[in-house]
Amino acid sequence: MSTPTRYRLDELAARFKLELRGDGARMIAGVGTLATATSGQLSFLANSRYRTQLDGSHAGAIVLRADDAVHCAGACLIAADPYVAFAKIAALFDPTPAAVPGVHPSAVIAADARVDASASIGPHCVIEAGAIIDSGAVLGPHCVIGVDCAVGAQSRLVARVTLVTRVTLGKRVLVHPGAVIGADGFGLAFERDASDHGGWIKVPQLGGVRIGDDCEIGANTTIDRGAIEDTVLEEDVRLDNQIQIAHNVHIGAHTAMAGCAAVAGSAKIGRYCLIGGGAGILGHLNVADGVTITARALVTHSIHSAGEYSSGVPLQESRQWRRNAARFKHLDDLARRVQAIEKELESKESKS
């Protein structure tokens, strides 16, 4: 059994350039919430609304802002952004074991695929023709790396990840189980016959997918390859679980999207955007840098300026919602009546 990881508090302060207040010799062996942390664990306070929990917390030390430190009786680490500092410290206690280089005997690898000797290829993986697995990459069990795909150095595909074809992952990309990258985009053309009926013709999807360094792709998320040019995620894009990215979408660096969001084909999303859960962005639209789209919003036109945008009807008591829904049907009639009254008033004012 391995020895538990432990750090002195003054070691953590020095390592992450934080101001220490209190006993620097205190040993920290893990992390926890303000409510559940023990004397050997470190917690954090990022939202001052939870300041009242400081008095009852048994945490050995707390990461917080300077203006909250006066309310902390025990040891603390002062950070400009406590949540970021806590995330960095918590990573030291991540129990995920290091992958062992090598290829599992059950893996199937094409003769012309290139697998770096330092990569780790798990059970029942399939690596097809022309694929490249770079140094330190990790493929968990049952991953499929399709024709002409590339997995960058230190990237990790957790399990059952499929790269279909012409997919390139940058360095340190993390892909969670069930994700499918590089499947056909939804490209169809309807061919009508003489009777104005007909059927769908599939448009070949000839592009690929390019994913930049330090991206993260959530479980069961799907990213389609481009029809002609590539679908692109720039560096440090973070996608939650069960997100749909359609063909030829371009997502700018450092943008994050929450679960069940969907982006239709050829939309372009800027850098440093935040897309809420269940939000939808229609195809061929542009979203500027620094845009926040709240949960369940539907973007139906391009957004040219940074800011926060919302749509939809907030939750209401059912009886009130039904009344408002009934009135919604009469909005057009009401608008016309208001316009008529305004014109009548303007006419009277001009005569007088």
Catalytic site positions: 247
HEC sequence for the chain: CCCCCCEEHHHHHHHCCCEEECCCCCEECEECCCCCCCCCEEEECCCHHHHHHCCCCCCCEEEECHHHHCCCCCEEEECCCHHHHHHHHHHHHCCCCCCCCEECCCCEECCCCEECCCCEECCCCEECCCCEECCCCEECCCCEEEECCEECCCCEECCCCEEEECEEECCCCEECCCCEEEECCCCEEEEECCCCCEEEEECCCCCCEEECCCCEECCCCEEECCCCCCEEECCCCEECCCCEECCCCEECCCCEECCCCEECCCCEECCCCEECCCCEECCCCEECCCEEECCCCEECCCECCCEEECCCCCCCCHHHHHHHHHHHCCHHHHHHHHHHHHHHHHHHHHHC
Tell me phi and psi for residue 190, to 5 degrees: -95, 120
Amino acid (1-letter code) at residue 212: G
